[in-house]
Structure 1
């Protein structure tokens, strides 16, 4: 051997950092059993590297000898069946981290052929090992002094430069080392298809599908016609409304001797006075009906205070009409009783009108059609509707309704004007307490002074949080309603609003079909559940889905879908409660192919990741603003998910709520792939596929995706075929946007048709877009 230094290959396999990889202290000698001719040590190479040079500590001969030695050790281990990882010494700084054996890595990826040839630096050009940053792999180029890093490293909040607490690293930081632990990524440019809104395509027509789609749909699954949808809508309107819909008349309904003249707005005039005399510096911005002809909304702007106001316009009663209304209400309470017989809204409305007519007949009072209609509307609003906020509940632009207590105006969150003060206010404590109690009863719940806080779901699916009296809120009873949209948001809406780009939605479409699990993270009201519901439409039509929620928000068109919700206890001891963890355990016994979890925030997180690890595709939401925040929340109480389970997750979508030009918008900030765990640092390796640029309001594709590469390999596609598939799906999504195909049933119809016969669908779409079917 001639006294030459040798390579300790076992030490190198145990910890790749032990030779020139950025570890602490001097490099250890490496023994391969063969002479190493040009082993460089820090003492022998004190000079810094010149600009533009690159050094790994090995020359070409060393690398070939090292590869041969590693192959020999791998072959020996394969023969004797020894693949167990070598544990670190107790004093090793990585003794507490999970150790991954290099023998577990695919041999074909342990290749040195892709290393760029060195330009022959001299021994004086090699940087001393102690001058290398700890997080720079041996095979990575040494960064220039003070040069900005290309990728961002998120830290857990430990001291700056302390990598022991880091949890996430971008794959770009790994350099050549990434090839040892990760497969090759699909790195190719994809044409981003986006029809400008100013083109003629926006005038192609609305809400119509090509005849080819209708025929294909009719041959495969039952068609969703307008008539069928009208029947569904009619049934929805006839849904029982709780105890107020369970009323019936005690006395018999008598026939009136004289026929009552029905109200006709053309003959008797409008119920609501829409004239507006604005105060100084106040101007009307918008006026629109919410429950015509009974309720309208006027939005005005005060130039002095720079505030918007939301005014509900309803029929105004005279003093005599108000007095008569109170008398009729009192008589109605005497004649009405609670019954177990279910009545529809229309049936209850007829009973109220008939009884009111009887009361007026008993008093011998004759009213004009206009006065009678105003009184009847107020009775129906208070008995069957939502009282002071009934008109607001009809407004489809409202997202939240908030009553902060007695003598405080009710605030709403308008999709166009954000938070606005209304002209509605509760001034009577008894009336407010009674209304909160009624809301609880309609939701099938109970609220009292002993238990004054309640979360519930209203009959239309809206979420409501209530407090009763001054036990926990100083201003008296409160309630906050988060309104539920009758029609769920679809991918067409997300693209139309600019929340996602057509290419990013096409990417998620492919990922869902390929069975990739995802978490939608973001702040409050950033659109997490909305995005989850929209992307879930891409789930194959016959797949079994189980959803788990605290309150029903998801709405899917799939027939093989089990929606499940949690249940609170029946008493103060917690008996009979069913939480998310129990629902998840039950769901795993139902053999679902896809699971949708409303929000991950408790002990169910471990079971959720166990489900991911066992092949159940899972989609969930979480409150977090970055991948690092997601990891920290998952790893810490009460979730406590071990880091080695996190690589079962495939995609994280970060949603944000931001402002551009003074307008509030929701955007998909990032789509990030979760790749693996770095065995050296125990950090989660990620790859950013899409990112949102707030300055230009554009969602950009990074050009590299490991998920697309895995789909290419699984389906046996070429890169050209993948480009074509992404283009096809972008064309379909953009075609639905310009054709205004927004209803979730119609969007689902289009997606299922493409799933069954892609060529027919894309041919019809391209014919409509280009006048031919070749996509040109």
Structure 2
């Protein structure tokens, strides 16, 4: 057991769990069961082991199991899940789990974090990380001290190896929680108003290029999923991400993710590669999970060529998101200049949606702005469509450009926006 408690009773429980754990693992090995892929079979094995133990306890040869269901759950978490972290991963109220050191395990709930009473052994943390990475096919070592990986349930794992982080390896698990899969569900959660949701739905159907911006945990991926769910079924969607996080229903969608370099230092696939490959796959839409560096240039070139797309980006406001979009492409090389990038961003990005978290931990859409395509003194002009004032998201009087795209689909943008007064 990894929780620290005192008392002889707890010690006996630890010994019992260790004994039963060994029996379950022995059967799993002998039967050739993959515990990460077949957790239900592991559960049946654990139930059988606990039942057999209980039958032996009737003779007095062994101590009885005090709570069979709880013991089975703990055994499954140890063998098929992720040990003492599994209860947090199973708890729907927990958004993220992170380990600063074995004695400091935190969780986040409702946008706020709290220190748990869980205390782990250092060897247990290392074992958990190895098991998590085994399911993803990714690795971490001295030559590769950072790793991003996806766990079987869709949770995102990030690890920084000890030596880069001081004292102990830093482990973060951001849980995949489907709170909303459509724009209408964001309305139900209070992140959007009906008119703002209808406007964004119309923008997606009209093929406008949308940038979703915000801070960490502001709900950018959720918003991107909801926007992608509004893409017409006749379009062909190609997405590129560092690790698979997007999940939305679409009949013609090819998701791609990056790949680490192998042990010999070759075989790495970065976001720039994926975006370039996406353009060769006859896409109607391209989606990039998040732009952080020079891949922004490749996305801009695709959008500027008339291919509708979406992406997310870390920024504190819609205007700062556009500034960052103008800065990141400069990382691609000295031959890329702001004189080229700024007007390209102005001509390529149509809508910016900025998200935030309020003081109560609730995620909100703070503003939606249109980019008319004009540049004045190297500054991209924007027109506010919706902004949040006094706690409400209201129409600010602005209008999107490219109105002909809406008209072609028979969408009355004026009527939609006037409903958000």
Per the shorter chain, which TM-score range?
A: 0.7 to 0.9
Secondary structure, in 3 states, of the residue corresponding to 2:196? helix
Kept in 2, the 8 Å contact 1:517–1:650? The answer is: yes
Contact 1:317/1:374, CA 8 A, preserved across alignment: no
Conserved? CA contact 1:528–1:655, under 8 Å:
yes
1:373 and 1:497 map into 2 onto residues whose CA distance is 35
1:405-416 correspondence to structure 2 within 5 Å = 405-408=101-104, 410-415=105-110
Q: 1:471 to 1:339 in 2, by over 3 A?
A: farther
1:459 aligns with 2:156: no
3-state DSSP of counterpart to 2:17: helix
Q: In the TM superposition, what are the counterparts of 1:68-107 in structure 2 within 5 Å?
A: none
Deviations 1:364-390 (A, max 9, x none): 735546455444333222112221121
| Cα deviation 1:471-527 (Å, max 9, x = unaligned) | 333332331110001564421232123322211111111111111111111221222
Consecutive unaligned residues in structure 1, runs of 5 or more? 1-310, 731-776
Distance (whole Å) between structure 2 residues aligned to residue 530 and residue 583 of structure 1: 22
Deviations 1:305-334 (A, max 9, x none): xxxxxx99xxx9644333233334345555
Q: How big is each residue's C-alpha offset from its partner over 1:25-80, in whole Å with a ceiling of 9 and x where there is no partner?
A: xxxxxxxxxxxxxxxxxxxxxxxxxxxxxxxxxxxxxxxxxxxxxxxxxxxxxxxx
2:101 counterpart of 1:401: no
Q: Does 1:667 align with 2:364?
A: yes
Cα contact 1:406–1:475 (8 A) shared by 2:
no
Judging changes above 3 Å, is the alpha-carbon distance between structure 1 residues 368 and 643 closer, same or farther for their aligned structure 2 residues? Answer: same
TM-score, L = length of structure 1: 0.48
Residues 687 and 442 (structure 1), Cα distance of their counterparts in 2 relative to 1, 3 Å cut? same
Distance 1:449 1:712, change over 3 A: closer
| Contact 1:467 1:478 (8 Å CA) reproduced | yes
SS of aligned partner of 2:225: helix
Please say which structure displays the higher CA radius of gyration: 1
SS in 2 for 1:583: helix
User: Residues 576 and 359 (structure 1 numbering): CA distance in 2 closer, same or farther, change over 3 Å?
Assistant: farther
Question: TM-score under structure 2 normalisation?
Answer: 0.84
Q: Deviations over 1:217-257 (max 9, x none)?
A: xxxxxxxxxxxxxxxxxxxxxxxxxxxxxxxxxxxxxxxxx
Correspondence for 1:433: 126
Structure 1 residues 712 and 568, CA gap change in structure 2 (3 angstroms): closer
Alpha-carbon distance change, 684 to 320 in structure 1, aligned in 2, over 3 angstroms: closer
Q: What's the counterpart of residue 644 of structure 1?
A: 343
- 1-structure distance, mates of 2:117, 2:31: 36
Structure 2 CA distance, aligned partners of 1:445 and 1:339?
26
Match for residue 81 of structure 1? none
Q: 1:609 to 1:423 in 2, by over 3 A?
A: same
Q: Is the 8 A contact 1:627 1:652 kept in 2?
A: yes
**Corresponding residue of 1:111:** none
Q: Which residue of 1 aligns with 2:79?
A: 383
Within-5 A mapping of 1:662-741: 663-678=360-375, 681-693=377-389, 696-707=390-401, 709-711=403-405, 714=408, 722-724=413-415
> What does the per-residue CA deviation read over 1:709-747, in whole Å, with 9 as the maximum and x for residues that have no partner?
434654578xxx55556689x9xxxxxxxxxxxxxxxxx
Question: Contact 1:542–1:558 (CA<8 Å) still a contact in 2?
Answer: no
Alpha-carbon distance in 2 for matches of 1:366, 1:339: 26
Residue of structure 2 equivalent to 1:351: 45
Indicate the SS of the match to 1:424.
Answer: coil
User: For the residues of structure 2 that align with 1:372 and 1:499, how far apart are their CA atoms?
Assistant: 43
Task: Indicate yes or no: 2:166 matched with 1:501.
Answer: no
Please point out which of 105, 117, 138 is paired with 1:445: 138
Confirm or deny: 8 A CA contact 2:180 2:186 kept in the other structure: no
Asked if the contact 2:196/2:386 (under 8 Å) is kept, the reply is yes
Cα distance in 1, alignment partners of residues 299 and 344 from structure 2? 10
Return the offset for 1:626.
3.1
- The answer to whether the 8 A contact 1:402-1:481 is kept is yes
Offset at residue 657 of structure 1 (A): 2.4
Equivalent residue, structure 2, for 1:273: none
CA separation of 1:394/1:333 partners in 2, compared to 1, >3 Å: closer, same or farther? closer
SS in 2 for 1:582: helix
Instruction: Describe the superposition over 1:104-142 as per-residue Cα deviations: whole angstroms up to 9, x where unpaired.
Output: xxxxxxxxxxxxxxxxxxxxxxxxxxxxxxxxxxxxxxx
Matches of 2:379 and 2:85, distance apart in 1: 51
Deviations 1:415-454 (A, max 9, x none): 17x211212111x222222222222223323334564432
Residue 531 of structure 1 and its aligned partner are, at CA, apart by 1.2
**Counterpart in the other structure of 2:267:** 576
Q: Residues 564 and 495 (structure 1 numbering): CA distance in 2 closer, same or farther, change over 3 Å?
A: same
Cα distance in 2 for residues equivalent to 1:325 and 1:458: 25
Q: CA contact under 8 A between 2:240 and 2:256: conserved in structure 1? A: yes
Q: CA separation in 1, counterparts of 2:271 and 2:42?
A: 37
SS at match of 2:354: strand
Change (3 A) 1:369 1:656: closer
1:655 to 333, 355, 361: 355
1:598 aligns with 2:289: yes
Q: Tell me the C-alpha RMSD between the 2 structures.
A: 3.2
Q: 8 Å contact 1:672–1:690 — kept in the other structure?
A: yes
**For structure 2, which runs of at least 5 residues remain unmatched after alignment?**
none
Q: 1:710 to 1:359 in 2, by over 3 A?
A: same
User: Of 521, 531, 534, which residue of structure 1 is paired with 2:223?
Assistant: 531
SS at match of 1:569: coil
Taking a change above 3 Å as real, the CA distance of residues 674 and 355 of structure 1, as seen in their structure-2 partners, is: same
Q: For 2:137, what is the secondary structure of its paired residue?
A: coil
**Separation in 2, partners of 1:414, 1:607:** 36
Measure the CA separation in 1 of the matches of 2:70 and 2:193.
Answer: 49
Change (3 A) 1:706 1:360: closer
Kept in 1: contact 2:351–2:370 (CA 8 A): yes
State the 1:705 CA deviation: 0.8
When residues 421 and 508 of structure 1 are mapped into structure 2, their CA distance, relative to the original with a 3 A threshold, is same
1:516 aligns with 2:215: no
1:607 maps onto 2:307 in alignment: no
